[in-house]
Amino acid sequence: MSELSVNHLLGIKDLSRSDIELIFNTADQFKDVINRPIKKVPSLRDITIVNLFFENSTRTRLSFELAEKRLSADTLNFSASSSSVKKGETLIDTVNNILSMKVDMVVMRHPNPGAAEFLSRNVDSTIINAGDGAHEHPTQALLDAYSIREKHKNLEGKKVVIVGDILHSRVALSNIFCLQKLGAEVQVCGPTTLIPKYIKGLGVAVSHSLEESLAWCDVANMLRVQHERQELQYFPSIREYSQQYGITMNHLERLDKEITIMHPGPINRGVEISSEVADSDYSIILNQVENGVAIRMAVLYLLASKNKMNFKD
């Protein structure tokens, strides 16, 4: 039986192409499961998973929780607002306290880049990164690539543009790594102020024209404008942003091909994406959400197998 090369899911950076393909093939099976009348399998029975969220999240947390429940794991939710973090407890202490209560896996979202990697080196548990600052959001990238694969069969040679706030986006970074590992060509597009100066060093092309990017690509992944991460005003107004980088039906109808539109959610209708586009057949936004559960089930299952949790005597 094949297994993952890693013991944690900290970032796409650490995964091999065959890891990603293994996750996809496993997700295929779980996608069947969640579309059956009985959506639950006993794979992770008797395994306890904590969802540690030091930053607000609704959909990622729900998606993980659902994935855990579909696998019959016991789940525990912890969010920063009600935590002891504000009382000055260290991350290591917080997690070790939880682990002492016989918790097997940790799904963590944290505002600081590298927090998941740091934790994996300092506590004895399996860590799944559910987003660490502007670093990585590996399950999002996996579900994005999986959704492209579902629509286009193969990612090899596909052209994908990521549009928006690249500077503050963990989704962009994980997507870049994941798509490149699967053989896709990646471009980033957005206002000059929101494109990191050294992004080309990651092997991506840079564009500042939405029209040109859409004409070039097979898939456009429209990122949400992350006001909460911006300590400066990177563009003068939402109005100006959407004039330049908001996708509308007009854009799509002018193309001589049909492209796929994605969005990691939550969408700001009328800002980076118009309602017509979001609700159109171009969009696979809701497929992404559905696939998110299957992908997270696959990740949890494969890591539990790798760490021999679900093969108890």
In the complex, the residues that contact other proteins under the rule CB under 8 A are 13, 90-92, 110-115, 117-118, 121-122, 132-136, 170, 173, 196-199, 201-202, 231
CA 78, CA 13: separation in Å to the nearest integer? 27
- Dihedral of alpha carbons 49, 55, 56, 58, sign: negative
Q: Is residue 251 annotated as part of the catalytic site, yes or no?
A: no
Q: Known catalytic residue: 69?
A: no
Minimum CB–partner distance for residue 173 and other proteins (Å): 6
- Cβ 16 to other proteins, closest distance in Å? 17
**Cβ 154 to other proteins shortest distance, Å:** 27
Single out the catalytic residue among 8, 61, 70, 109.
109
Nearest to other proteins of 68, 136 (CB atom): 136
Q: By C-beta, is 198 or 311 nearer to other proteins? A: 198
The answer to whether 111 and 55 have CB atoms below 8 angstroms apart is yes
**137 carries an active-site annotation:** yes
Q: Which two tokens stand for residue 219?
A: 């898939």
Walk across the sheet containing 48-53 and list its strands. 74-79, 48-53, 105-110, 126-132
d(C-alpha 277, C-alpha 269), whole Å: 9
In the set 59, 200, 227, 239, the catalytic residue is: 59
Q: Which of 61, 135, 137, 149 is catalytic?
A: 137
Residue positions counted in the chain:
313
Q: At its nearest, how many Å lie between other proteins and the CB of residue 110?
A: 7
Instruction: Answer yes or no: are the C-beta atoms of 303 and 105 closer than 8 Å.
Output: yes
Which one is catalytic: 36, 86, 87, 308?
87
Give the C-alpha distances (Å, rounded to integers) separating 87 from 80, 91, 98, 101: 11, 11, 16, 20
Active site residues: 59-60, 87, 109, 137
